[in-house]
Structures are given as C-alpha cells and as structure tokens.
C-alpha cells in the first residue's frame, strides 16, 4: 500500500530554509523543517482528485492566490485509499474566495470557512491561519478561561497554518502550482509508521478544542494506526472537557465516528479512552452494570460497517436507536413494573425520556429522533400478529428497520428468537403462506372472544318517547 511512499522517504527533500534561499528570501523562524516532495517522487495524481476540487484549485491559482489540497484527502491518497472529501487551503480571505465563486457561501463564526457547492459535492475552502496574537481583536480570536478556542480567525502564512493543524499526518499540502507535496512535521514518516501524533503540546491542543480527542480515536480506528504515547496520555484524564462542546457539534462528530466503516473498533476505542461516557453517559452506565447488553450494540455496529462497505445507505436513526436501546429498555421496565403503565404507553414515554436526557450531550434532530421512537415502539407492535395486524404492520414504512432491529436483538441473546423467525418466515412466504402463518398464530395465541349479544333492531329504532314510557 505504501510502496509509493517508501521510495521518496529516503530522499531528504528541500527544507524550508533551502526553499526560501532558492527564492532569494531570508530564512524565517519556523518549528518545522519543510520537506518538498516533487511530483515524480510521490504517488498522488490529479486523477485521484475530484473534478470539483480541481475547479476550485485552478480558479484560485488563476486569480494569483496560493491553492493547496490539505489534510485528510492528501493523507488518504498516500495510503492508497479513495478520499471522499477534498479540503482546500489558500491565502485568499473568505470574502475573496466567495467573490470568485457564485456557488459559494461563508459559514461559521468560530472558524470562518467557505463552502463551494457543485451539485451534491461541497469543497471546503479555508484561509491559512496563524496562532492568535496577544493583541488580536476579540472578534478575530478569543479563548475561554479554560483554554477553549471560541474564535480563531487570525489569518497567516502556510507555515503558520501548519502549526494550527492538529496531527502531523494532516499537515500535508498538495500544491496545484507544481504538483508537489509540502510535508510539515514529518507527517509522511508518521504515515509510514502508522502513528497518530499531535502537533504541539497535546494537553494545550486538547484544551483548545476537546473534539481533537475524538478525532484521534477516529483516525486510529479508520486508518488502523496507533496513537503515539505522548498524544494518548492526556485523553482519559481530559475526556470530561467534551462537556464544553455544544451538543449539536457533538452530534456531527458522532456521525463521523460511526459512519466511517470502522464503527466497531471506534466504539471499543471510545470505551477504552472513557470518551463514550461523555457522548452517551446513560448508555455507558447501562453497559457497565450489564455488560451483556454490549453484544447488541456490537451486532448493530457490525451491520452498519457491512452496509458502508457494500455502499448501501445507512440511517443515523437506526444507529442511535441501537446505541440507546439499553437505556430505553431500563426506562420501559421501570414504567411498566414500578409505574404500572401498559406496555405501549410505557414504551412511548420511555423513548421520550431517553431522547430528552440524551439531548443534553448529543442533540439528535427530529428527522432522526422520530424514526428512532418508531423503531422502539415497533418492537411491541411486531408482537401483535393476529388478524389484519400482521399485514398492516408489514406494509408500514418503518417495518423493515424495526424487523432488522428485532433480528439483531435475537442474535445478541434477547429472548425474541421465535418472534424474529416468525417474521422472517412471513416475509419469505407467498400470500397464501402469509395467511396460513397468521391463522396458525391466531389459533395458538388468541383467546376465545365472547360474542356480543345482538341488540334488537326494534329496540334500537324505537321512538324516543316510547322508550321513555317503558323505562
């Protein structure tokens, strides 16, 4: 996989001092030794880059701005992976970038970036950033008393921008002007050693943005890399800093964690570094007291990874429904056994309670929370198969997701295997076979129904005044 990398790792490349000297400039101070890897020394080609990203790069270049592919897309291409997202870094300000593209808009306040949209593809364009200076205006850069970056819009050079990157493997820039890779902080060598290493002091960088702890775990799981010991050491003691991050942002981060195709390994790493209890505290509590519940979540994550590998659609609703199922089960039992509620209202109330509590940590949009509740409530509805109910249930838009959920429950050891087998047989049968299954189920499960006494037509149609006389 890294055959193309090994060949040029042995070459020294040009350092930043050599580059500046060749351009007739005086060397500037920098914490990095820049290695420039020429086009014939690396495997990254423009054929690996999306047409939309190339359009952005070339238009910036034509307007006499610097234009680089940066970060994950360069890293993944060097690893032989197929990048899905392409990020661009430039010395043009957000306003200058927007003026070049009619299909662009500036987003964000904490980090001002530009999204350039081509159909469904979005190219993210960022301006080179510099470390916040002491005299920076508060509107450009500010930090909380705990070190959390509240705003970071001080622009600088590419050298300063590299300092602001989180990990060495992300401080890689592909220059559209000469097709070379500009490697800061020895990122290529860390790729070769399959190592996640923080740029700068890890504790300081985690305080600036605690989400970097989640990113370290995500890259370790996605790339099958190890987290370097110095980078790893502060994660457990500093995990609680994630509580400073808005719940809406953490929802987006959870999607990245679990929809990358390595959700099982991600889940295990989140547990290992005590990050799961910051994202899903009630689920983590249930898994600690009832470890066997974890098997269901693992099964659900394996199913998610398989669908991602097969390029099938994955809905976050199913994923979140699985992660929170142990919590819903606990609430359901309390409401039925201690609260005395009937099963259906108890399940509805359990779902509402769990979603309300979870929203304090990772907010879940209604377009996902509503299907989650339906999946949970359908677990009771699938038990009712008499008469027309089975036919109506099978026609419901949420049936397939609820059935898949039921099968995973059975596979993880919950005592619902007969019910899962019945619904499997029902779906595999023709119309007459389905009727037979329903009839058999009625004979086995239904109790005799007392016939209602038919009311006399005469009595029902009797004039009101006559009924009053007889009464």
Residue 190 is among the residues annotated as catalytic for this protein: no
Which residues are registered as beta bridge partners of 155? 129
Measured CA to CA, the distance from residue 407 to residue 382 in angstroms comes to: 12
Q: For 279, what's the count of Cα atoms within 13 Å in the CB-facing half-sphere?
A: 26
- Edge-first strand order for the sheet with 172-175 is 35-37, 181-183, 172-175, 67-70, 87-90, 121-127, 113-118, 104-107
Q: Which of 76, 87, 183, 305 is catalytic?
A: 87
Helix (H), strand (E) at residue 68: strand 67-70
Q: Is 391 helix (H, G, I), strand (E, B) or coil?
A: helix
Dmax (CA) of the chain: 117
DSSP symbol at 454: P
**Burial class of residue 432 in the structure, from the number of CB atoms within 10 Å of its CB (0-12 exposed, 13-18 middle, 19+ buried):** exposed
Residue 209 is among the residues annotated as catalytic for this protein: no
Place of tokens 């779902």: 351
Residue 466 is among the residues annotated as catalytic for this protein: no
Residues 6+ apart with CB under 8 A from 173: 68, 69, 70, 74, 89, 158, 162, 181, 182, 184
Residues 6+ apart with CB under 8 A from 191: 2, 5, 75, 78, 79, 169
Q: For 138, what's the count of Cα atoms within 13 Å in the CB-facing half-sphere?
A: 1
Q: Which of 76, 152, 166, 183 is catalytic?
A: 166
Place of tokens 């899962």: 420
Residues with catalytic roles: 85, 87, 166
């Amino acid at each position: 996989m890294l055959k193309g990398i090994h060949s040029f790792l042995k070459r020294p490349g040009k350092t930043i001092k050599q580059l500046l000297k060749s351009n007739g400039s005086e060397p500037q101070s920098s914490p990095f030794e820049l290695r420039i890897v020429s086009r014939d020394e690396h495997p990254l080609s423009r054929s690996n880059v999306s047409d939309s990203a190339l359009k952005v790069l070339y238009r910036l270049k034509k307007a006499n701005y610097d234009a680089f592919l940066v970060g994950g897309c360069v890293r993944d291409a060097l690893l032989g992976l197929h990048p899905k997202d392409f990020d661009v870094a430039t010395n043009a300000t957000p306003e200058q970038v927007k003026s070049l593209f009619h299909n662009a808009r500036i987003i964000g306040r904490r980090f001002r970036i530009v999204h350039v949209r081509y159909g469904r593809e979005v190219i993210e364009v960022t301006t080179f950033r510099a470390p916040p200076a002491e005299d920076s205006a508060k509107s450009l850069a500010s930090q909380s008393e705990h070190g959390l970056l509240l705003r970071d819009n001080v622009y600088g050079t590419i050298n300063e921008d590299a300092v602001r990157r989180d990990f060495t493997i992300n401080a890689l820039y592909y220059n559209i002007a000469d097709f070379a890779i500009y490697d800061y902080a020895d990122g290529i060598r860390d790729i070769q050693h399959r190592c996640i290493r923080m740029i700068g002091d890890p504790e300081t960088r985690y305080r600036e943005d605690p989400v970097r702890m989640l990113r370290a775990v995500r890259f370790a799981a996605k790339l099958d890399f190890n987290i370097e010991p110095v980078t790893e050491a502060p994660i457990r003691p500093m995990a609680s800093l994630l509580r400073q991050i808005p719940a809406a942002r953490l929802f987006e981060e959870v999607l990245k964690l679990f929809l990358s195709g390595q959700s099982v390994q991600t889940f295990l790493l989140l547990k290992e570094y005590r990050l799961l209890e910051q994202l899903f505290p009630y689920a983590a509590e249930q898994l600690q007291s009832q470890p066997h519940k974890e098997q269901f979540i693992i099964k659900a994550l394996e199913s998610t990874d398989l669908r991602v590998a097969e390029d099938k659609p994955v809905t976050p609703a199913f994923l979140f429904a699985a992660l929170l199922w142990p919590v819903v089960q606990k609430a359901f039992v309390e409401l039925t056994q201690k609260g005395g509620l009937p099963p259906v209202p108890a399940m509805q109330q359990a779902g509402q309670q769990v979603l309300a509590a979870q929203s304090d940590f990772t907010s879940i949009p209604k377009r996902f929370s509503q299907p989650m509740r339906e999946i949970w409530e359908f677990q009771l509805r699938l038990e009712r198969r008499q008469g027309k109910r089975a036919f109506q249930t099978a026609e419901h838009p949420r049936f397939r997701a609820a059935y898949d959920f039921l099968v995973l429950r059975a596979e993880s050891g919950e005592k619902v295997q007969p019910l899962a087998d019945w619904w499997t047989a029902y779906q595999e049968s023709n119309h007459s076979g389905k009727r037979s299954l329903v009839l058999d189920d009625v004979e086995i499960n239904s109790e005799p129904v007392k016939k209602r006494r038919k009311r006399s037509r005469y009595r029902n149609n009797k004039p009101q005044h006559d009924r009053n006389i007889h009464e």
